[in-house]
Amino acid sequence: MLSNKIVECVPNFSEGRDLEKIEKIINVFRGREGVKLLDYSSDKDHNRTVVTVAGEIEALKVCIIDFMEKAIELIDLKEHQGQHPRMGAVDVVPFIPIKNVTMEEAVELSKEVAEIASEKFGLPIFLYEKSASCAARENLAVVRKGEFEGMAEKLQNPEWKPDYGPCHPHTSAGVTAIGARMPLVAFNVNLDTSNLDIATAIGKKVRFIGGGLRFCKAMGVKLEDRNITQVSMNMTDYTKTALYRSLEMIRMEAKRYGVNVVGTEIVGLVPMQALIDCAEYYMGIENFSSDQILESKLME
């Protein structure tokens, strides 16, 4: 079991087809003191694997370096094809503060890993999200633009000098983005309409870029098998934009179409507090402290 200070890490590496290679890489996370492999899933179309691990800061640091070494050894990006954008064998390494860890500590951890990895592997590394050295590098999609094939040229541009490592991509492992961010929650709200235009219109209103909630990304999706639609969201900071706020805003916007919310869905992992915050809101619980949750006490 893990101690009191816990960071999560969700590294993405560019191999989703060769099971033997995938297992060799995943094995780096197994049987480690102070680090716990929580989940991993590979996508053949994306040709990419997403890993979820959590651990104590120091143990996680060593583990991620070992993981990068193994992935760089086994993956040659010159031969990589897949639907998902990518620029490196180890494409992106986000660190996420979970328990008794500040965002500042997660940023510090990301920079230490970036420094060690760039020197050890001769790998150019961009810091992104909360670790970014300037606003232009916060957004991963912008950093990764050009992908592996375009990185040699991109890195020659002084504006895209890597934060760590050389100004040319690693021959086989390309470029890696490392940073710290809040936990993402994949939260979907189902509507009793089969009209995708309505779900799309609501999604645009509730999301940040459309004038909606600050930490909410949203789009309309059709659920063909149920003949209904869904506002599919990525909540990028549940501590500031609570799940219940997006749900109630969708309910409100749906009313004008005579459409009702018929259910919701949480995909993948969710921090306990994201749901406790919702229980507190709907039940009107006064002066509640998460110290009152038995499991929190047990984890102390």
- Residue 176 or 229 having the CB closest to a copy of itself: 229
Of the pair 209, 298, the CB lying nearest a copy of itself is at: 298
Residue 210 vs 271, nearer CB to a copy of itself: 271
Report yes or no: 187 and 135 within 8 Å, Cβ to Cβ: no
Cα distances (Å, whole numbers) of residue 121 to 49, 65, 125, 149, 192: 21, 10, 11, 19, 52
Q: Which is nearer to a copy of itself, 120 or 226 (CB)?
A: 226
Stretch that binds a copy of itself, among 79-87, 104-112, 233-241, 288-296 (CB under 8 A): 288-296
Instruction: State the nearest-atom distance from the C-beta of 212 to a copy of itself, in Å.
Output: 18
Mark the segment that binds a copy of itself (CB under 8 A) among 18-26, 116-124, 130-138, 269-277: 269-277
Interface region with a copy of itself, contact rule CB under 8 A, candidates 78-86, 118-126, 139-147, 264-272: 264-272
Among 54, 123, 180, 233, the residue binding a copy of itself under the rule CB under 8 A is 54
Minimum CB separation from a copy of itself for residue 147, in Å? 31
* Residue 84 annotated among the catalytic residues of the structure: yes
Site string for a copy of itself, 99-118 (x = CB under 8 A): x-------------------
Q: Which stretch binds a copy of itself (CB under 8 A): 10-18, 106-114, 120-128, 262-270?
A: 262-270
Which of 4/102 has CB closer to a copy of itself? 4
Coil vs helix vs strand at 129:
strand
Q: Which residues pair with 221 in a beta bridge?
A: 230
Shortest spacing between CB 52 and a copy of itself, in angstroms = 8
- Dihedral sign of CA atoms 125, 130, 131, 132 in order: positive
Query: Which residues in the 179-198 window bind a copy of itself by CB under 8 A?
Result: 183, 190
Q: Does 1 bind a copy of itself (CB under 8 A)?
A: yes
Listed as own residue / partner, the contacts of 157-165 with beta carbons closer than 8 Å and 24 or more positions apart are 162/118, 162/124, 162/125, 162/126, 163/114, 163/125, 163/126, 163/127, 163/133, 163/137, 164/114, 164/115, 164/117, 164/118, 164/119, 164/124, 164/125, 164/127, 165/118, 165/119, 165/122, 165/123, 165/124, 165/125
Please list, residue by residue across 243-282, b when 16 or more beta carbons sit within 10 angstroms of its beta carbon and e when fewer do. Answer: bbbbbebbeebbeeeebebeebeeeeebbebbebbbebee
Active-site residue, from 46, 80, 84, 168: 84
269 lies in the site for a copy of itself, by CB under 8 A:
yes
d(CA 254, CA 263): 13
* Residue 62 binds a copy of itself, judged by CB under 8 A: no
> Can you tell me the distance from the alpha carbon of 126 to that of 118, in angstroms, rounded to the nearest whole number?
10
- With H, G, I as helix, E, B as strand and everything else as coil, classify residue 229: strand
| Residue closer to a copy of itself, measured from CB, 138 or 280 | 280
Taking residues 211 to 240 in sequence order and writing x for each that binds a copy of itself by CB under 8 A, - otherwise, the string is ------------------------------
Active site positions, annotated? 84
